[in-house]
Amino acid sequence: MKILAIIPAYNEEECLANTVSELTSVCPDIDYLVVNDGSHDRTPEICDELHLNHIDIPVNCGLTSGVKAGMKYAYRHDYDAAVQFDADGQHMPEYISKMADAMQEQNADIVIASRNLAGGGAVGARGTGAKLITALIKHATKQTITDPTSGMRMYDRKMIEIFTRDFDISPEPDTISLFIRKGAKVIEIPAEMRERQGGTSYLRYFSAISYMARTCLSLLLFQWFR
């Protein structure tokens, strides 16, 4: 499979170089694209100095825009699959090949790297919210997604095209639920993940609660009109 790792990066000067270095060392056959999402730290300079394969979004547009920009790149360059890969060092590149194998063996459209299947998972308010999202997805689709907030997801060519074409698609749990309802095959594999290796997450306590609330509202109401 020809696979692209999409690395959205917003103010990731502390982690980006090590993340890309580890990815290229562990997965030399995997291409990558850093999507600099309007960073105002040294992320753009690091991309240029290290000659990283990257594109620059001039202003911060958010994760969805960054991932969709990467999906358009993947579609135009004829990739068979694209994997969302965090710039902060949480995701471990050795799982990419396992996701690709599972995608091919099970003919899956989406493969999610699940911390819960590996014995981990979010804790506190985020953990509680994730469990609620899992319950809502099961209610809507009759399928259990153990780690709905995992940011490490692999999409096949068909899904890449949908991200490129449709304006209301985002790399979020409610979209996963929507895809399942539309007939996509979504599977999970166990995967360990690390703590953020530097910088500050945009999902702090109150923003995490807000994110979970928006996601649950979408699962309960809005996605049924899509």
Q: How far apart are CA 187 and CA 206, in angstroms?
A: 30
Q: How far apart are CA 13 and CA 19, in angstroms?
A: 11
Alpha helices, H only, 27-116: 43-49, 63-76, 94-106
Q: How far apart are CA 23 and CA 122, in angstroms?
A: 24
Amino acid 46: pLDDT: 97
Q: Residue 15 carries which DSSP code? A: T
Map residue 3 onto helix, strand or coil.
strand
CA distances to 9, 46, 170 from 60, rounded to whole Å, are 10, 17, 16
Whole-model pTM over 0.75: yes
Amino acid 220: pLDDT: 72
DSSP string, 107-128: T-SEEEEETGGGT----HHHHH
pLDDT (tens digit per residue) in 98-144: 999 999 999 999 999 999 999 877 666 667 888 889 998 998 899 99
Amino acid 206: pLDDT: 61
For the domain made up of 3-225, give the CATH fold. Spore Coat Polysaccharide Biosynthesis Protein SpsA; Chain A (3.90.550)
* 198 φ, ψ (degrees, to nearest 5): 170, 165
Q: How far apart are CA 153 and CA 188, in angstroms?
A: 9
Q: Exposed, middle or buried, 185 (CB in 10 Å: 0-12/13-18/19+)?
A: middle
pLDDT (tens digit per residue) in 45-99: 999 999 999 999 999 999 999 999 999 999 999 999 999 999 999 999 999 999 9
